[in-house]
Structure 1
């Protein structure tokens, strides 16, 4: 039932835009494989073979560390309502930090967020859809305000200190390249 495509088609783009969350999967050369759920208004499809997403401060920073080791990334969306569908994009990704060339242009695509840690720019090599028949129905209620409340209670220096303490290494002890 899985189908592969060389690029995103209009129906894929519409499906992505309709989802409230996505998942990112990465792995280094050794160690743990990471899969993280992402939400908020943090992803943009920029073309048939390009997706960018803004990564906000979190308790870990596996994606950044993995991409420093092995430049590959999978993004996945699944429908929790309407017709069942899973969509994945496979490719490579560039990591951008504040001050890097291209950061300002890409950051302007998103709502301003003081705890924006990286922007990932994925070059898509393969798009795959599959049935999603086993994905349960779930109803979206709202975005969480927990991240914004946390950020509002911190100064910029406190956010950077958190990055230094919690986000400088992967769980396997590899560097993440996060600026502090």
Structure 2
């Protein structure tokens, strides 16, 4: 039976910190495609307070989450335990995009670990509902290691490569919703 929590208490924060990945789901207001994205790198997620979380958004093949948040703000984050503790935790809320060239981003930065070379934005979520479920059918998996491929790929990209992404496949969602603005900063321009 699912349990609803009033806030992100110490036990939930511990559970979140122990997970090696999480999933993010968003959708446009009408029709369109529901987006569900796996996210890795443990140092990219942070609990900011009892009702606020954030994660670092890295350049990827598209920008569905950013486009959907700009349109309606709805977002769900899901953590699954793959070890002997069967548990799924969902954080339902309203998210917003914080550009890395903003003053707010500078206040968020200390909550995260390493500087990832493909940093695109921070996603800040006001959590409105916190609920768990059993996860009894989720299989056991052993983590071998974090996959370094995305950071390695971004390390090889030039400013011109990122500029093409900003103007191209990261400028709109698959549904044609606006995502990154043309003046979005290049990762090389982000203070470290």
TM-score of the superposed pair, with normalisation by structure 2? 0.89
Q: Per the alignment, in what secondary structure is the counterpart of residue 161 of structure 2?
A: helix
Does structure 1 retain, via aligned residues, the 8 Å contact 2:82–2:140? yes
Deviation of 1:6 (Å): 2.0
Deviation of 1:60 (Å): 1.1
Matched, 1:172 2:175: yes
Deviation of 1:105 (Å): 1.7
Q: How many residue pairs get matched? A: 180
Deviation of 1:34 (Å): 0.7
Whole-angstrom distance in 2 between the partners of 1:32 and 1:157? 29
In structure 1, the residue matched to 2:124 is: 121
In structure 2, the residue matched to 1:38 is: 39
In structure 2, the residue matched to 1:17 is: 17
Q: Per the alignment, in what secondary structure is the counterpart of residue 162 of structure 1?
A: helix
Does structure 2 retain, via aligned residues, the 8 Å contact 1:23–1:76? yes
Does structure 2 retain, via aligned residues, the 8 Å contact 1:54–1:107? no
Does structure 2 retain, via aligned residues, the 8 Å contact 1:6–1:125? no
Q: How does 1:93-104 map to 2 (within 5 A)?
A: 93-104=95-106
Deviations 1:10-35 (A, max 9, x none): 11110000000000011111211111
In structure 1, the residue matched to 2:151 is: 148
In structure 1, the residue matched to 2:50 is: 48
Deviations 1:26-76 (A, max 9, x none): 111121111100011210111111101000010011000001111111100
Deviation of 1:170 (Å): 0.5
Residue ranges of structure 1 left out of the alignment (5+ in a row): none
Whole-angstrom distance in 2 between the partners of 1:112 and 1:160? 19
Whole-angstrom distance in 2 between the partners of 1:159 and 1:142? 27
Whole-angstrom distance in 2 between the partners of 1:64 and 1:35? 12
